[in-house]
Amino acid sequence: MVMDTLYFVLGSLDESNGRMVERGDDAIERFYGNERHKAEVFRTYLEKLAEDRGRSAAIETEIDGGGRTIFRSSELALLINSCYKLVKDAGYCDEAGVSMGSRVMFASHELFGETSRLKELSFLAGAYARFGEGNTFRMANAEHKVDLVARLLSQYGCRELSVTYLPTYVPRVFVLSFEPSKEIGEIVEACV
């Protein structure tokens, strides 16, 4: 399947409570220890994104004290963060009361623009690669992204869409179930 690499990456981003971006931070994404394979797939797409854009962006990988894999690149972080249109000031200040420049950003349908089919399908493929299994997506604290994915699935002919959440979990885990259309079924198969 032909893929828009940038939109695959955007679909793969964890937006738990929104995408937090701080001024000067070059972090692109963090993966938990149990997501090692997903982190490797993500890195492959980051490298392809840099190549597609004709950039020689250095992508640094670090493992933090909690075992999370963090990908860093000033150039790619700037590109990825520039795709978000909805921005909310997080209101964080340093000890002197100076704004840290933190923003919380949310994916929305505006992300795709007017020529959207390839972008939308690539976004769904990225979201499935990170959050999908069988005929479900599971995302923590990202109701806005679950709503966007559900809207896209419906737009591409999926049926029996159902969003539930697991109230006994902290964080709040949203589960989106769907019956795939032929086109979305092909994406699911490609991501398995």
CA distance 17 to 171: 10
Q: What confidence category does residue 163 fall into, taking pLDDT thresholds of 50, 70 and 90?
A: very high
Q: Supply the pLDDT for residue 131.
A: 97
pLDDT score of 3 more than 80: yes
Q: Please give the radius of gyration of the chain, using alpha carbons only, rounded to the nearest integer.
A: 17
> 32-58 burial by CB neighbour count: b if 16+ within 10 A, else e?
eeebeebbebbbebbeebbeeeeeebe
Eight-state DSSP code of residue 98: -
Per-residue pLDDT tens over the stretch 99-153: 556 778 888 888 887 778 999 999 999 999 999 999 999 999 999 999 999 999 9
CA distance 143 to 79: 24
Torsion sign (Cα): 177, 178, 179, 181: negative
pLDDT of residue 54: 83
Residue ranges of the domains in the chain? Answer: 5-191
Contact 60, 71 (CB under 8 A): yes
Q: How confident is the model at residue 36 (pLDDT cuts 50, 70, 90)?
A: very high
pTM, rounded to two decimals = 0.89
What pLDDT score was predicted for residue 32?
94
- Per-residue pLDDT, 90: 62
The C-alpha atoms of residue 75 and residue 77 are separated, in whole angstroms, by 6
Predicted confidence (pLDDT) per residue in 52-100, tens digit? 888 767 899 999 999 999 999 999 999 998 888 656 666 655 565 555 5
Q: What is the third-level CATH fold of 5-191?
A: Endonuclease I-creI (3.10.28)
pLDDT for residue 132: 96
Q: State how far the Cα of 122 lies from the Cα of 138, in Å rounded to an integer.
A: 18
Of the pLDDT bands very low, low, confident and very high (cuts 50, 70, 90), residue 185 is very high
* pLDDT for residue 115: 72
